[in-house]
């Protein structure tokens, strides 16, 4: 079993070297879930299936073509890839966009960083509602953007009145909404997103440019990294783009396309918003190889989406099984999930449960509110291994339930 990388050295440096690290980074450690060599990896929401050989062959062909021109810089605006992504979104969501309304970067992480670089910054504020994705405050930190969190309800839904009041009070330049939310799997109703969009448009960001005597409102980002896994009837915020030019909807190829190693994230927005991101991106930030590999994978979207349907079925079966389990005489709590993971609990000592699973060769994630754990949806065999391990752990430690 390998161990995760250690935390970085203190700001004073190594071997007596002293480095002028920014003060707010002095005690920070690199982001990352544990990377351990165990038989069953269900901790970082990866697609458990490797790309089919047909997909590998197409990617290899596209990359080989790109390699013949690696002496030249790539298309810095990656027009062909943006067109392919726009075509895919039209099929997946029914929303037709122009290629100029699509942007891409090295993972949705870089897409989010571009958004905070363009619309955050010193003197500005970003808002989200916890519990949510743990990288959001790091994007804010890295762009010198003040970070404020509101709250989610006990069932992890978002109270519209609270969200609107928070936006009106804080007057952020950026509002980040994950839907489905990580780590809870909760999707936002479109009515909730619309209410937040309206509130964000009404406020005036304190240092924003004035137009016709009024300052601009906030940009609202709906992070749909897990959108393809949403249950039937759950809409996408893409449907709201036509009426809301200050909305951006972020996606990724890491999950549904079984391409976490590709590092390709993208968003859809108005052309004005996309053009703002073009100002802050580094020159030629998306390599010719990445562009080619992404286009090769997109050519097989039908085949890969069929795989997603199987994972949704596995997720729903896992939710049903977890809700049948009892700890200390009471059933487990399990959050509704529209993602490829499930949040469950609660445990008085969740770390003991996490460790017990790890001792049995199953790695899940110790994240979310106190007492909860998150398990990614794996193959049928991996899910069976998780069920067997959790049954043993709970039977061995029946008093681990977290008291209300």
Statement: residue 404 has pLDDT above 90:
no
Per 3-state DSSP, what percentage of the chain is helix, strand, and coil (rounded to 5)?
A: 40, 15, 45
Model pLDDT for residues 172-220, shown as the tens digit of each residue: 999 999 999 999 999 999 999 999 999 999 999 999 988 888 999 999 9
Task: Specify the pTM.
Answer: 0.93
pLDDT the model gives residue 86: 98
Sequence ranges of the chain with CATH classification 3.40.640.10? 55-299
Dihedral (Cα; 400, 357, 340, 50), 10-degree rounding: 180
- The mean pLDDT of 83-108, rounded to a whole number, is 97
β-pairing, 247-252 vs 265-269, is: antiparallel
Mean pLDDT over 289-313 rounds to 96
In the structure, what pLDDT confidence band is assigned to residue 11 with cuts at 50, 70 and 90? Answer: very low
Q: Phi first, then psi: what are they for 196, rounded to 5°?
A: -70, -40
Q: With a cut of 80, say whether residue 70 has pLDDT above it.
A: yes
Other C-beta atoms within 10 Å of 320: how many?
10
User: Does the pLDDT at position 384 exceed 60?
Assistant: yes
- CATH 3.90.1150.10 domain span(s) along the chain: 23-51+303-396
Report how far Cα 143 is from the mean position of its chain's Cα atoms.
19
Calculate the average pLDDT of the chain. 93
Query: What mean pLDDT is predicted for residues 142-152?
Result: 98
Select from 3.30.420.10, 3.40.640.10, 3.40.50.720, 2.60.40.10 the CATH code of 55-299: 3.40.640.10
Q: Are 272 and 257 a contacting pair, CB within 8 Å?
A: no
Residue 370 pLDDT grade (very low, low, confident, very high; cuts 50, 70, 90): very high
Does residue 4 have a pLDDT over 50? Answer: no
In tens, the pLDDT along 317-363 reads: 999 999 999 998 899 999 999 999 999 999 999 999 999 999 999 99
At the topology level of CATH, where does 23-51+303-396 sit?
3.90.1150
């Amino acid at each position: 079993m390998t161990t995760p990388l250690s935390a970085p050295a203190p700001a004073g440096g190594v071997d007596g070297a002293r480095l002028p690290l920014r003060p707010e980074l002095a005690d920070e450690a690199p982001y990352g879930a544990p990377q351990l060599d165990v038989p069953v990896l269900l901790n970082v929401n990866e697609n458990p299936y490797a790309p089919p050989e047909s997909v590998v062959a197409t990617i290899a062909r596209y990359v080989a073509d790109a390699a013949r021109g690696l002496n030249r810089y790539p298309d810095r605006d990656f027009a062909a890839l943006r067109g392919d992504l726009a075509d895919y979104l039209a099929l997946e969501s029914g929303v037709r966009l122009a290629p100029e309304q699509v942007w891409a970067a090295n993972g949705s992480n870089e897409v989010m960083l571009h958004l905070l670089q363009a619309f955050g910054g010193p003197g500005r504020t970003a808002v989200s509602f916890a519990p949510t994705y743990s990288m959001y405050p790091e994007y804010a930190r890295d762009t010198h953007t003040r970070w404020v969190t509101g709250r989610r309800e006990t069932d992890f839904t978002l109270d519209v009145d609270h969200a609107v009041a928070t936006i009106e009070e804080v007057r952020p330049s950026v509002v980040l909404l994950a839907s489905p939310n990580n780590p809870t799997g909760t999707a936002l109703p479109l009515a909730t997103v619309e209410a937040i969009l309206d509130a964000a448009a009404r406020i005036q960001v304190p240092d924003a440019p004035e137009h016709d005597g009024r300052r601009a409102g906030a940009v609202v980002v709906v992070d749909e990294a897990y959108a393809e896994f949403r249950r039937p009837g759950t809409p996408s915020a893409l449907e709201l783009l036509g009426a809301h030019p200050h909305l951006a909807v972020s996606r990724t190829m890491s999950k549904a396309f079984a391409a976490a190693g590709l590092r390709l994230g993208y968003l859809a927005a108005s052309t004005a918003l996309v053009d703002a991101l073009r100002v802050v991106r580094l020159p030629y930030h998306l390599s010719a190889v990445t562009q080619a590999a992404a286009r090769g994978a997109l050519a097989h979207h039908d085949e890969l989406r069929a795989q997603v349907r199987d994972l949704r079925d596995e997720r729903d079966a896992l939710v049903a099984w977890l809700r049948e389990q009892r700890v200390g005489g009471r059933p487990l709590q399990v959050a509704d999930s529209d993602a490829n993971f499930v949040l469950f609990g609660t445990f008085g000592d969740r770390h003991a449960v996490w460790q017990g699973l790890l001792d049995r060769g199953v790695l899940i994630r110790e994240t979310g509110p106190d007492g909860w754990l998150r398990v990614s949806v794996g193959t049928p065999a991996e899910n069976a291994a998780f069920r067997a391990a959790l049954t043993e752990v709970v039977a061995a430690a029946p008093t681990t339930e977290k008291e209300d």
